[in-house]
Amino acid sequence: MDKFDTLTSVAAPMNMINVDTDMIIAKQYLKTIARTGLGKHLFSEMRYDDQGNENPDFVLNQPAYRNAEVLVADENFGCGSSREHAPWALLDFGIKCVIAPSFADIFYNNCFKNGILPIALPKEDWEKVMDDAERGANAKLTIDLEAQTITGPDGGSVSFEIDPFKKKCLLEGLDDVGLTMTNGDKIDSFESEREQSTPWMAQTTAV
């Protein structure tokens, strides 16, 4: 998992409440367990018409936001079923940070496990960030995870809260597997000691 420290990007405004995981990545795209290739299906029912043509009114199809790495959404983002494909699709598209007044718990935690920073802001601060996002391509946000700040194009900033452990994992680029492997020496030592003390449990594989 890539480390997350600071990010400066245009922010795409999605001023909709209750954007659920089926809207983020529709059920017909859940057949794969690969984390890549899902970005083209992100928000597919809003991005494309029935013939597969782009909907020019959808925010991520607009020239100013095609390369946005930040998404500013509204309340209860990521509600619905607990599909991990939702953060996979966001990340594959290029979204590395989602800012909203509130998130569904499972989606929120899945973001951290996949290298996306979800930021929950009080409504007043969220409105300032949404206002910046709606200004278009010339209004970039800078997210500083270490300082826990979001700085707008005019230099004003707001602070955000984050669990210290989740923050540490993002800064160091540690998903669940990576976090486990930080204890690799202890795991190896345990396995070696167990093999010595209980040799009958050792498994051998014939070649």
Report, as an integer, the average pLDDT of 145-153: 98
Per-residue pLDDT at 160 exceeds 70: yes
Q: What percent of the chain has pLDDT over 70?
A: 86
Residue position matching structure tokens 């993002």:
170
Report, as an integer, the average pLDDT of 30-44: 92
Yes or no: domain 6-172 corresponds to CATH 3.20.19.10: yes
Domain boundaries defined on the chain: 6-172
* pLDDT at res. 185: 66
Per-residue pLDDT at 35 exceeds 70: yes
Element (H, E) at 197: helix 184-197
Element (H, E) at 86: helix 85-93
**Closest-CA residue to 97 (of 165, 25, 170):** 170
* pLDDT at res. 191: 65
Q: What is the pLDDT of residues 162-195, one digit of tens each?
A: 999 999 999 999 976 556 555 556 556 666 666 6
Tally of residues, the chain: 207
Report, as an integer, the average pLDDT of 22-47: 94
For 199, phi and psi rounded to 5 degrees? -60, -20
Report, as an integer, the average pLDDT of 109-120: 96
Beta pairing, strands 140-144 & 117-120? unpaired
Q: What is the mean pLDDT of the chain?
A: 90
* pLDDT at res. 62: 97
175 secondary structure, DSSP code = -
* pLDDT at res. 205: 41
Full-model pTM: 0.86
